[in-house]
Amino acid sequence: MILSRRSSGILLHISSLPSKYGIGDFGTGAYQFADLLIHANQHLWQLLPLTPTDQSSGNSPYSSSSLMAGNTLFISPELLRTDGLLALKDLRNCPTFPNNFVDFNSVYTYKNQLFDIAFYNFQSSNNHKNEYEQFCFDNASWLNDYALFVALKQHFHGKAWCHWGDSLRKREPTALMIATSVHSFQIEREKFLQFQFFKQWSTLKQYCNAQHLFLIGDAPIYCSHDSADVWANPELFNLDSHGQPISVAGVPPDYFSPKGQRWGNPLYNWEELKKSGYNWWIKRLEHNFNHYDAVRIDHFRGLVAYWEISAKEKTAINGRWKLAPAEDFLMTITQYFKDFPVIAEDLGTITPDVKNIMEQFNLPGMKVLQFAFGDSSENPYLPHNYNQNSVVYSGTHDNNSTRGWYDSEINKSMKKLIENYIGQKTDAKNINNEIIRLALSSVAKQAIIPLQDVLGLGEESRMNTPSTPKNNWQWRVEQSFLRKSKFKSLLEMTKLYGRA
């Protein structure tokens, strides 16, 4: 089990990789990055969710139309060409995309033109047809619903599934049969793209695994309401007879958010999930374990107790805590899977019941060094308070880069605390390496460092600023930054602290 050995790795989303096609993908840039990690004796590559994104949700990978499907923007045009689905002439008129951020509008437009050509060529040949049919058979439990969902979303000009009319909203068999027939072209196109996504991803994963580089995926705890998951399984969610949420997810008011956070995701109907032996969750985790070597479950505490907010409420203030059947759920799940390589995202205010469940099922939690300084020596994020069954991060995708944090988010007194803790002077030029040293030298079994911190980049490289609707998920690393010399310090510390 990869989480049982002392190791370290890098956090970088696929979208942030270099590529001439406007967004990182599963092509050359991904293999070159994997080679850099392997050279630096890193054994872990952590990603954000690889599920579909859309512009109406700010391109967030945590707000997806499916928890099972793949983001087709990550399909590599050069690999489609290698497979004979695109010709060199199809790629000659590639626009000049920015190389340090994703222009999602332009990428969507360009890649969909390429996908149309690739799909036409696929239909016109017999190459990979048996492999494609086997993929469709193996994934039918989610793929059929998702492909129809995508086709219907396009037909209804982006309207949510609960506004498609009663027969489709209620998934009446005749209505589904007619829709599948009418939209057969779009359905087949989406299935083809999902086949290409998982084919390319599987090949990349095999390459990494062969060199002892393991891939950590990320699983959001909740579904988006307007998703194929909820449309296909409405009985598993707390919805009314019109398909609208009765209550939604969020977190209560705290020091950082006086009104709390109202996320808006429909909550699970745990009674229905339990009746089926949590079969929906088992299939979802099985899918994840097939495609990743370990999985981080986002907002893990919601599997123990969750903040329920009436859908009528505009804020999270008037919510209430409700218990989930955590012990029964995890007992059932862990008995099904011989290996359960899960990291529990346990950031924020964590109550004893969550800690007890994590200990009972031996689940590693997260330690974030940007949260460590400023209150007391008992702060759980300070390295001297860690236990081995932990994963330490300098920061996460929701944090500023360490240099950006040091420059703009902490005051002189906190900088002095950091200096006292590490025992030497710090400044913006060395703070990233000093924080990395704290992470790698700690007793935590795993240490994960965002690439931005390895490179010492500033606030301009931030991936996401929570509660802000624009300019997130766009950052890309420039090819010129990805040199072996940039990883020399990380390599040395990895060896020194026994993570190689």
- Residues catalogued as catalytic: 298, 345, 398
SS3 assignment for the chain: CHHHCCEEEEECCHHHCCCCCCCCCCCHHHHHHHHHHHHCCCCEEECCCCCCCCHHHCCCCCCCCCCCCCCHHHCCHHHHHHCCCCCHHHHCCCCCCCCCECCHHHHHHHHHHHHHHHHHHHHCCCCCHHHHHHHHHHCHHHHHHHHHHHHHHHHCCCCCHHHCCHHHHCCCHHHHHHHHHHCHHHHHHHHHHHHHHHHHHHHHHHHHHHCCCEEEEEECCCCCCCCHHHHHCHHHECECCCCCECEEEEECCCCCCCCCEEEEEECECHHHHHHCCCHHHHHHHHHHHHHCCEEEECCHHHHCEEEEEECCCCCCCCCEEEECCHHHHHHHHHHHCCCCCEEECCCCCCCHHHHHHHHHCCCCEEEEHHHCCCCCCCCCCCHHHCCCCEEEECCCCCCCCHHHHHHHCCCHHHHHHHHHHHCCCCCCCCHHHHHHHHHHHCCCCEEEEEHHHHHCCCHHHCCCCCCCCCCCCCECCCHHHCCHHHHHHHHHHHHHCCCC
